[in-house]
Structure 1
Amino acid sequence: MRLKAVSGILLILLLLIGKQGLTSAVVPTETTPSDPPIHIHLTWQNETNTTITVTWQTNSPTSGDIILYDSVSRGGAPSDYSCRTKGVNYTYSGSSGWIHVVELTGLNPSTIYYFICGGDTGGWSGERAFRTAPSTSSDTRFVVGGDSRTNWTERERISMSMAKFSPAFAMHSGDMVNDGIVQSQWDRWFTDVDTHWIGEDNLTIPIIPTLGNHEYPQYTQKYFHQFALPGNERWFSYDWGPHIHIICLDSESPASGAQRDWLENDLATHANYTWKFVNFHRPPFVSGAHSPWTPARTHWVPLFDKYHVDIVFNGHEHNYQRTYALNWTASQVDPQDYSDGTMYIVTGGWGAPLYSPEPIWYMARQNITYHFCLIDVFNNGTLHLQAKDNQGHTFDEVTIHKYARVLTIASSPVTGVSLTINGTTQATPYTGLLPKGNYVLEMPENHNEYVWSHWLEDGNVNRTKVVIMDTDIALTGLFRHFCDLDKNGCVDMRDIAVAASAFGSYPSHPRWNPNADMNKDNQVDMKDIVNIARNFGKDD
């Protein structure tokens, strides 16, 4: 009996020990990532409403080039994300690690996506989020600033202040670092972006950068290795929705030649955009430690005047300067109205040593302070610009009213017809917010088996191609079937009668009717009657 009791006790102990061992075996243990992503930042290489590019750095090329993402938060659990994209990695001379670049494509406009980056080998980042650009008209907020070079404390204070306003993106006008050859300065700058460029809405703020002289592009490629940008990465442009166009130029390259030609073509292509902004480093209008950059005045400013760029943002001068509206082509001694002029903003106060400006006739406001610019573009055609100090307080502001009108264009009875608005091709149905002005609207003369008839403007026939936008307006481009000879909206016996009355005629014949010559063989015969019969009953 005693032996049985001891055996029973031993069995119970063994079961308890086994159970504890089993429990400890399934308890997950958290491991510290061996090489997690750092210097995470967002840019665009293509369309802002359907793509985003994520760039980060690790110590090893094998740490992982993966983005896991979803349109709902997954809390950072790798197995829970529904989408996966793999990118590339590379290093370069003088780098402090390996750069990983992943472009996400096929995204939905105006959508928040949640993501983690890295890989199982090196470890994953924490979950981040971003929002794609809209494809329709919407209110937009963004920030602009530059010259973040040397004063790290002030630089980070500006970054934290601007992030509280949750901009859709931040434009940087160059001179991110003091010496673009020194990698440690880039590492400190990207640490600031990684850490502080997260809005109050918890969205990571993408950057639209431009080259400054302190990036030293003539001596080092470190800038280009660490930013993924469109085209040649020196001059490029983005659309933000259907009404905002952003151009970035390179004032470290010649302003004439290829860059000037590209600029004019880009401005001409986007001439109908309500708002046009340009960003580059060296200012054409400035007063203080630096002189105006004359190549921009010579080669770019005439184009800004011609295509009515709204605001040009620059850096280089370490302070804040805002001009009156200028049209340098119209007058070099008097300010202009905003309806015909461009505002030039020098915003070089993100951390570089401050300079004292000097008064000059075209400057409306100057200030010596660390700062950034906050721009709100509203769907009603209004822009509000505020210059903010490192505490987020406004020390200068200006409002521009475009008095934009909504233009809606449809085509009937066919759909999807392409038209041109001041020479720019658009597809129907079309809805656009356009500044008050004159617009030439042209429909094609033919679309498949239909031919152009006339405009229907808010219920009234309008046969002119020129529409003066004083109020919101709705236009319908009406087409008729090519067999509808009497233009009554339907192919019927009356059309056969029209063709019959011209039967046997030819050019110079007294009964000749070119509309009845369906097949355009210069005679009205049975082939034309048969053509009408085949389309009998079709409605316009």
Structure 2
Amino acid sequence: MPRHLLSVAVLTFLFALLLAPPSAAGAEGSATAASRAVEPNTLVPAGDLRYAPAAHPDRIVASPAGDPARGFQVSWRTAAGVQAPKLELVVAGDSPDLGEPRRLEARTSVFRTGNGVGHQHRVDVDGLQPDTLYAFRVQGAGGWWSPWRQLRTAAAPGTPLEFLYFGDTQNKNASLGSRVLLEALRHAPEARLALFAGDLVSGGDGEDDNEWGEWFDIVAPVAATMLVAPAMGNHEYAEEFEDTPQERRVMGAHWSHAFALAGNGADGAEASTYWFDMHDARFVVLDGTSALDLGTARAQAAWLDGVLRDAASGDSPRAWTIVVVHQPMFSPRQDRDNALLRKHVLPVLERHRVDLVLQGHDHVYGRRGGLVEGQGTPQYVVSVAGAKQYRLSPEARATMAPVAEDTQLFQVVRIDGDVLRYEARTATGRLYDAFSIEGDRASGRRIVEHVEGRIDQRDCIRAATLKGRADRCWE
């Protein structure tokens, strides 16, 4: 072909490419690129009062009493002006005629947020029967009532127990966190308890009311059928006198209003530490931020030692012990080291051979055993439910297995007699980690790994986040 004709052919081909409609793959790539803008933490448009307090009751959550076989505590919110509304409670039945309910009057406090002034209400429900399904509803203003919810009280030791554990939800709760909690419900139909390992929300030092509104929205399906036991994370704290020599951490106002907790905690951290027994397990919730930043590490360790000593005594026999704390004993993220927790709290966990230590904070997945070689427990786990994803440190890759980056997860734990089975699943329900702890504490427990069905290790495939941060995998 003559050179001038070849040039014309090449130009014609190039113009045809430019003028042709994009292929399916190209269109998909363009759409993906166009949708890769950094997403805000909440779906609420600026200035929208979606989460303003209203006459109807919202943010309803029931948390464990010290003895969840006999009671639970309920917290909810309404607009200001609603004084001492009632909670109605009845043994659930098959008929829509639930019968005459028991009525309990709430304690009410004023709560001011960025969405306006509201009233927070709390009722401590007691005098219940173990292993009994109860229906309850709470009152708002002007004739408003919540829908009836159903909770089953804890059963006696010897009864199997299923519960859920979530690492940090923290940001983009409505957009991306909701799918994790909904998927968890599909895999734990008998769950009676949901544990949250702190950093429930992110921005505004935990004081962004829209973020709290979205957190309660995504938790609502879980909270409608089971007890919710949260640990306090560093993002639930606020900074007082920020950027001054007097700067200090203080508990964010939302925490004490949002949750009605057992109130049996450690000295100096009474509002954020607590314990309770369910079936064959004793659960203990610590406050790592208070321990690290507010000087309560020694007091929490001493309190934990006493609570765990009771668990092994004849006065309160519980076969299993589970501790929840936000900051990990062994941090899987680069350049994090919670030395005060390892100095004061870790020896207590090891001495009592706590079975599971469930943690958050580092936004990756990692599991490792304790300090005593050949001893099955404790098993230390770090997980993340939310969208923010960090990167693993080289040390974590060398000392933990399995590990994961760039993965939203939830965990299902089942206790039945001398076997505790743990499963970590991804946001799509795929099995990532599974093991059992078997045997009794006196003769020593062993770890049985369940590798069948696990997916391959997940690592971050991005060099940087959309904001250009190389130390994270996703914002």
Match of 1:183? 209
Alpha-carbon distance between aligned partners in 1 of 2:229 and 2:184, rounded to the nearest angstrom: 15
Is the CA contact (8 Å cut-off) linking 1:64 and 1:119 kept in structure 2? no
The one of 262, 278, 283 equivalent to 1:240 is 278
Give SS of 2:290's match. Answer: coil
Superposition deviation, residue 206 in structure 1: 1.5
1:227 aligns with 2:259: yes
Number of residue pairs the alignment of both structures matches: 356
The one of 379, 389, 399 equivalent to 1:354 is 389
AA aligned opposite 1:370: Q
The one of 80, 86, 89 equivalent to 2:105 is 86
Superposition deviation, residue 257 in structure 1: 2.9
Superposition deviation, residue 223 in structure 1: 1.1
Give SS of 1:350's match. Answer: coil
1:204 aligns with 2:204: no
Alpha-carbon distance between aligned partners in 1 of 2:301 and 2:231, rounded to the nearest angstrom: 16
Superposition deviation, residue 289 in structure 1: 3.6
Superposition deviation, residue 352 in structure 1: 3.6
Alpha-carbon distance between aligned partners in 2 of 1:216 and 1:148, rounded to the nearest angstrom: 15
Give SS of 1:170's match. Answer: strand
Alignment of 1:225-374 (within 5 A): 225-231=257-263, 232-241=270-279, 243-254=280-291, 255-272=296-313, 273-323=318-368, 325-327=369-371, 330=372, 335-338=373-376, 341-347=377-383, 349-360=384-395, 361-368=398-405, 369-374=407-412
Alpha-carbon distance between aligned partners in 2 of 1:257 and 1:294, rounded to the nearest angstrom: 12
Is the CA contact (8 Å cut-off) linking 2:385 and 2:409 kept in structure 1? yes
Change (3 A) 1:290 1:106: farther
Alpha-carbon distance between aligned partners in 2 of 1:99 and 1:136, rounded to the nearest angstrom: 34
AA aligned opposite 1:263: L
Change (3 A) 1:121 1:54: same
AA aligned opposite 2:235: H
Give SS of 1:245's match. Answer: strand
For residues 328-386 of structure 1, give each alpha carbon's deviation from its aligned partner in whole angstroms, at most 9, with x where no partner exists. Answer: xx4xxxx4331xx3110001x2114111213434312101210011111112x001100
Match of 1:52? 72
Is the CA contact (8 Å cut-off) linking 2:77 and 2:120 kept in structure 1? yes
Give SS of 2:257's match. Answer: helix
Is the CA contact (8 Å cut-off) linking 1:37 and 1:124 kept in structure 2? yes
Alignment of 1:436-447 (within 5 A): 436=443
Alpha-carbon distance between aligned partners in 1 of 2:347 and 2:303, rounded to the nearest angstrom: 14
For residues 129-168 of structure 1, give each alpha carbon's deviation from its aligned partner in whole angstroms, at most 9, with x where no partner exists. Answer: 0010112311111111121111222210011111221321
Alpha-carbon distance between aligned partners in 1 of 2:100 and 2:182, rounded to the nearest angstrom: 30
Unaligned 5+ residue runs, structure 2? 1-53, 239-248, 264-269, 445-475
Change (3 A) 1:63 1:188: farther
Match of 1:171? 195
Q: Tell me: higher relative CO, structure 1 or 2? Use CA pairs within 8 A at least 6 residues apart.
A: 2
Give the TM-score normalised by structure 2: 0.71
Give SS of 2:347's match. Answer: helix
For residues 225-258 of structure 1, give each alpha carbon's deviation from its aligned partner in whole angstroms, at most 9, with x where no partner exists. Answer: 11111222222111112x3111111111135332
Change (3 A) 1:73 1:250: same
Alpha-carbon distance between aligned partners in 1 of 2:110 and 2:425, rounded to the nearest angstrom: 37
Match of 1:427? none
Alpha-carbon distance between aligned partners in 1 of 2:81 and 2:312, rounded to the nearest angstrom: 44
Is the CA contact (8 Å cut-off) linking 1:313 and 1:345 kept in structure 2? yes
Match of 2:245? none
Superposition deviation, residue 304 in structure 1: 1.0
Give the TM-score normalised by structure 1: 0.62
Superposition deviation, residue 301 in structure 1: 0.8
Alpha-carbon distance between aligned partners in 2 of 1:208 and 1:249, rounded to the nearest angstrom: 11
Is the CA contact (8 Å cut-off) linking 2:364 and 2:392 kept in structure 1? yes
Alpha-carbon distance between aligned partners in 1 of 2:108 and 2:78, rounded to the nearest angstrom: 10
Change (3 A) 1:109 1:290: farther
Superposition deviation, residue 76 in structure 1: 7.3
1:143 aligns with 2:164: yes
Is the CA contact (8 Å cut-off) linking 2:61 and 2:227 kept in structure 1? yes
Match of 1:401? 438
Give SS of 1:261's match. Answer: helix
1:387 aligns with 2:406: no
Is the CA contact (8 Å cut-off) linking 1:74 and 1:114 kept in structure 2? no
Give SS of 1:80's match. Answer: coil
Change (3 A) 1:289 1:352: farther
Asked which structure has the greater CA Rg, the reply is 1
For residues 425-448 of structure 1, give each alpha carbon's deviation from its aligned partner in whole angstroms, at most 9, with x where no partner exists. Answer: xxxxxxxxx7547xxxxxxxxxxx
AA aligned opposite 2:61: H
**Aligned-pair identity (%):** 25
Unaligned 5+ residue runs, structure 1? 1-33, 405-433, 438-540
AA aligned opposite 1:48: P
Is the CA contact (8 Å cut-off) linking 2:55 and 2:140 kept in structure 1? no
